[in-house]
Amino acid sequence: MTSEAEKPMRKPALHELDAPGFGFGFEDASPKTKENDDHRLGHRERMRDRVLSAGARSLADYQILEMLLFAASPRGDTKPLAKSLLSTFGSLAKVLKAEPEALRKVPKVGDAVIATLKVAETLGEKLLRSEIEKKNILGSWQALLEYCQGAMSDRAIEHFRILFLNNKNHLISDEVQQTGTVNHTAVYPREVVKRALELGATALILVHNHPSGDTTPSKADIDMTSEIVGAASALNIRVHDHIIVGNSECISFKSLGLM
């Protein structure tokens, strides 16, 4: 008779290793469950074959998200969650850019799902940013606007971003300095200039988004820009422009005659 101490350790089921509330185990599955599992795995293979034969652009948004979530749940059915996320946030872009706290409110979203979505979001930003890196940004203005649009639109709250440039107007660093509410972000000119000095930047481009989609500068936007320009100018740091990002367009303070 085997004692408790001599019993072999039980192998954890797959659902115990996956993200909480988003895992699927196979070890003790019934024949019917295994049949469903085989169907899911076959579905994944068919989707991969479709991407390889027709390209990823042949997929609907929910299918792109469904395939992305394969990484969060190696063997589960990710279609229902993909559709739930799109229904909750409204678009693929808004799903990827949603704050972790908002994502976590969606049933069956755990750390694995959030991490997967944030990696995908960052990858998209890096691809767009590659078009402006190691270049004179002022000579790559359209690429800069596309990057700002891709990185800052469709967000639920305001983000204030600064592009720090060297004396050749090449990008040194791209940083989100502050996040705020749906219509306000507190920005401190002293902190902006301090960070520019730390990085050895000689010029800046300010960027922030309007979650409402309306790119019209507010009086607070104009006043804050003027304060940063004044603080930077005192230390020979130039502010080239301030870009406001809406849901479908960007506007430039300089083009509006505000700088």
Q: From first to last of the 259 residues of the chain, give the pLDDT tens digit.
A: 444 444 444 444 433 334 434 443 333 334 445 455 555 667 888 888 889 999 988 999 999 999 999 988 877 889 999 999 999 999 999 999 999 999 999 999 999 999 999 999 999 988 988 889 888 999 999 999 999 999 898 888 899 999 999 999 999 999 998 886 666 677 889 999 999 999 999 999 999 999 998 999 999 999 999 999 999 999 999 999 999 999 889 999 999 999 8
pLDDT at res. 175: 93
Q: Kindly provide the residue ranges of all beta strands, DSSP E only, lying in the chain, ordered along the sequence.
A: 159-165, 171-179, 203-209, 238-245, 250-252
pLDDT at res. 256: 94
pLDDT at res. 40: 63
Supply 216's token pair.
């019209």
Amino acid type, 145: L
pLDDT at res. 37: 56
pLDDT at res. 183: 61
Tell me the C-alpha distance between 238 and 205, whole Å: 9
Task: Give the three-class secondary structure for 22.
Answer: strand
Tell if the pTM clears 0.85, that is, is over it: no
Nearest alpha-carbon partner for 205 in 235, 232, 234, 185: 232
Supply 238's token pair.
């130039």
